[in-house]
Amino acid sequence: RRDSWRRQAKAGGYRARSAFKLKQIQQRFELLREGDVVLDVGCHPGGWAQVAVELVGESGTVVGIDLMATQPVDGATLLTGDVTDPLIQSRLPEGVDGRGLHSTQT
């Protein structure tokens, strides 16, 4: 059974209804700003990465990592693998080294 959030996500071009959760969090806490670097660990299916790209803009960086392959997200770098794997870590774009990253748990 499809709910209204799923329909809204599809109509808005988002992959998952959880995209609206990040938008709600952003409205309340303003965690992400233009130019921020976002590392989305466990990014599949990519809904949060889509919203993060909107929030950080062209001057920001969004990187998603997941064990499952994720369809590309315009404006984001998506990697498939284990975030603790040194090979995956070596593929992170320049500037994504853990310094200055915001940590959130959901």
Integer Cα distance of 76 and 93 in angstroms? 11
3-state SS, residue 38: strand
Integer Cα distance of 94 and 104 in angstroms? 22
- Please check whether residue 104 lies inside any domain of the structure: no
- Please check whether residue 95 lies inside any domain of the structure: no
CATH number of the domain enclosing 42: 3.40.50.150
- Please check whether residue 28 lies inside any domain of the structure: yes
pTM of the predicted model as reported, rounded to 2 decimal places:
0.86
pLDDT tens per residue across span 7-66: 888 889 999 999 999 999 999 999 999 999 999 999 999 999 999 999 999 999 999 999
Integer Cα distance of 11 and 95 in angstroms? 34
Label residue 70 by pLDDT band (50, 70, 90): very high
- Please check whether residue 18 lies inside any domain of the structure: yes
Q: How many domains does the chain have?
A: 1
